[in-house]
Amino acid sequence: MFDTIRGTLLRVSAESATVDTGGIGWRLFVPASYLKRLAKIGTEVNFFVSLVTREHSQTLFGFLKEEERLLFEKLLNINGIGPKTALALMGHLASDELAAAILRKDSKILQKVPGIGKKTAERLLVDLKDALPLVSDLAMTKSESASLYFCDAVSALENLGYSRDKAQGSVKKAIEKGGSFQDLSALICASLKPT
């Protein structure tokens, strides 16, 4: 079946990207977080794809990393999780946040995603335990301790008035620059420093 699609990026919307491969435009549904990550229109892109077949439709989902596609497919194997919910989960939570939620068994983080209630979040934590290495590979953190503190640091910055995107970006930059953090306060302080 399909594995990758390489071509020219034609169009990007809130939920999809269209890739031209020799005159055929392929519409790929992508995580919402890709809006900021995708190359400019007219440039060459490569997506790892997953084909989801339903009774009346065949839908392609595209991912920039093979590990992201594997995570998407693992999410689809969880009872009650469909493609839209899996994509929403990947689009609303950074890999760092998902890894931290799994490590801490924190269902409240998962409940921030539209369409994920308390019962679904708790089931996800149980079912995703074996996916932790995959999620950790996707995470931008360099240490497990920093990954554990990621969500709390983002929350602290949000409480100080940062937008969610800016808070996540600041914490990620601090982790990338600083490496391992032994406590939450050190990570928050590093995140507050101007870049």
CATH among 1.20.120.330, 1.10.3720.10, 2.40.30.10, 1.10.150.20 for 67-138: 1.10.150.20
Domain boundaries for CATH 1.10.150.20 within the chain: 67-138
Q: How far apart are CA 84 and CA 163, in angstroms?
A: 25
Domain boundaries for CATH 2.40.50.140 within the chain: 4-64
Question: What per-residue confidence (pLDDT) applies to 25?
Answer: 95
Is residue 5 a contact partner of residue 21, using CB atoms and an 8 Å limit? yes
Residue whose tokens read 């306060």:
185
Measure Cα distances from 186 to 52, 172, 180, 181, 182 in Å.
44, 13, 10, 6, 7
> Which CATH architecture best describes the domain 4-64?
Beta Barrel (2.40)
Helices 83-92, 66-76: axis angle to 10 degrees equals 130
Higher pLDDT, 103 or 157: 157
Q: Residue 180 pLDDT more than 70?
A: no
Question: What per-residue confidence (pLDDT) applies to 195?
Answer: 62
Higher pLDDT, 171 or 144: 171
**What is the Cα 81 distance to its own chain's centre?**
16
- How large is the average pLDDT for residues 175-183? 68
